[in-house]
Amino acid sequence: MKNKPLSSLIIRYLLFFLIIISLIVIGLWIIAISEETMKDAIESSLRTETLSIKITGLKKGLFYSLSIDRVELKGKNGSLFYIEDVSGKIDPLYLFLLRHESSFSGKIQRGIISGNLHISRNKRRINITLDNVDIKDIPYLKSIGLKGAGMLNVKAVIENNHGDIKFDVNNTQFETFSFSGIAVPMEIFNRAKGLVNIRGDVIEINSFSLEGTDIYGRVKGTIKNNTADLSLEIMPEASARDKFFMLALIEKYKVSPGYYLIPIKTSFSF
């Protein structure tokens, strides 16, 4: 009988080694890590002085997958938003490199949220996409006085304390937005879009436009330590100035015909 080539034996033993490692990894996932342990670990790792996560109905699946009935993000004043029917998957290969790599998806009522998370010693990065989420289904927006409906789409990339958030809201049906004694007639707009930059504890609003029929708006400024220093410009065309009687609410902020400038100085608490 001929001896098998050395290369064939090496491949055979490598395959055997990989099978054993895979069985160990799967065994650790199924046996050593309980669902309650995972739930507590996720909730504690994402808890801050002002924010907390509540997880309901976490279940493990095979091959480092999991499902969660409901994930709720809560602040000091109540619920900010929640995700239902969450599914996720952890890449176990990164665990041997002392890194975490996972992906997730879920529902916000009829809208979809998805993304992935990367955690290593010196870097934390999360990518999030929201598709067709109705703003009326986000409790936090109601809590700060922004009420109405509209389909929100978001693409966000946040790495450590820096990030960029691009968004647009279509088919909006805003209601009057009140803050610090100022009533802004948001009903005049039917679309919003913008880009927000996060730089540590400062949120920079460099591009945030509002559109309506023959009327336009723009928000710019910064939010630092949850305190806004913003300005809202409203610019109706000549043909629309008499049509929008709601502009009478902001008459004192008229700078010139067809141009209103409203200061927004308020606090956004979580």
DSSP of 182-238, one letter per residue? EEE-GGG--EEEEEEEEETTEEEEEEEEEEETTEEEEEEEEEETTEEEEEEEEEE-G
Please report which confidence band the pLDDT of residue 5 belongs to, taking 50, 70 and 90 as the band edges. low
Burial (CB count within 10 angstroms: exposed 0-12, middle 13-18, buried 19+), residue 234: buried
In this predicted structure, the answer to whether residue 202 has a pLDDT above a threshold of 80 is yes
Q: What are the sequence ranges of the domains in the chain?
A: 1-32
User: Would you tell me how many other CB atoms lie within 10 Å of the CB of residue 64?
Assistant: 20
d(CA 237, CA 270): 37
The dihedral built from the CA positions of residue 54, 59, 65 and 68, taken in this order, carries a sign that is negative
Q: How long, in residues, is the chain?
A: 270
Mean pLDDT, the chain, integer = 82
Quote the distance between the C-alpha of residue 246 and its chain's center: 32
d(CA 115, CA 155): 9
Quote the distance between the C-alpha of residue 57 and its chain's center: 22
C-alpha closest to that of 167 among 202, 133, 117 = 133
pLDDT tens digits for range 54-68: 989 988 887 778 899
Which of 19-23, 167-171, 252-256 is predicted with the least confidence, judged by mean pLDDT?
19-23
* Mean pLDDT across 233-248: 82
Burial (CB count within 10 angstroms: exposed 0-12, middle 13-18, buried 19+), residue 160: exposed
In this predicted structure, the answer to whether residue 11 has a pLDDT above a threshold of 90 is no
pLDDT tens digits for range 125-152: 889 999 999 998 888 888 777 888 999 9
Please report which confidence band the pLDDT of residue 261 belongs to, taking 50, 70 and 90 as the band edges. very high
* Cβ pair 249, 270 in contact under 8 A: no
Q: Residue 24: what pLDDT?
A: 53
Token pair of 43, please? 């909730």
